[in-house]
Copies of this chain bind each other. A is one copy, B any other.
Amino acid sequence: MAPSEPSNATFRALDRPDLPVRRVPAGSSMVVQGAVGAEMYLLKRGRAEVRVHGAEVEEIGPGGIFGEMALIDQSTRSATVVAIEDCEIVALDEERFIQLIQDSPYFALDVMRALVVRLRAMNRRI
């Protein structure tokens, strides 16, 4: 929040050897709208597009997160996320997610910030 605080706590929090990196080729769907999901993801490398009913609503770059909504409220995926370049992602299940929030409040803030950015974008459509 203050300038002295980490600008991307998520990236640092997830950069650990016990969190393996998955490689995803361009064109692959990493999350599919309507599907059940139990993981959230950090994009370490590459770019991805977030689509709701086929319409692009956001582009995500390195350090961005996605899939956090289904992890927070156990509903189905609210959007499809497609790799538009070759990507490297880190997956977080519920247990790791809670643990990271406990270990790093700034990771929690990063997740909140990502949600707020999306909400503001949605509000502009009303």
Binding site for B on A (CB under 8 A): 1, 52-53, 55, 57, 68-69, 72-75, 78-79, 94, 98, 101-102, 105, 108-109, 111-113, 115-120, 122-123, 125-126
A112's closest neighbor in chain B, by CB?
B72
A52's closest neighbor in chain B, by CB?
B126
Contact B102 A72 (CB under 8 A): no
Please state the number of chain copies in the assembly.
Answer: 2
A contact face: mostly helix, strand, loop, or mixed: helix
Q: State in angstroms the CA–CA spacing of A105 and B94 once bound together.
A: 13
10 closest A-B pairs by CB? A122-B122, A115-B115, A108-B108, A101-B105, A102-B105, A72-B112, A69-B116, A72-B116, A73-B116, A52-B126
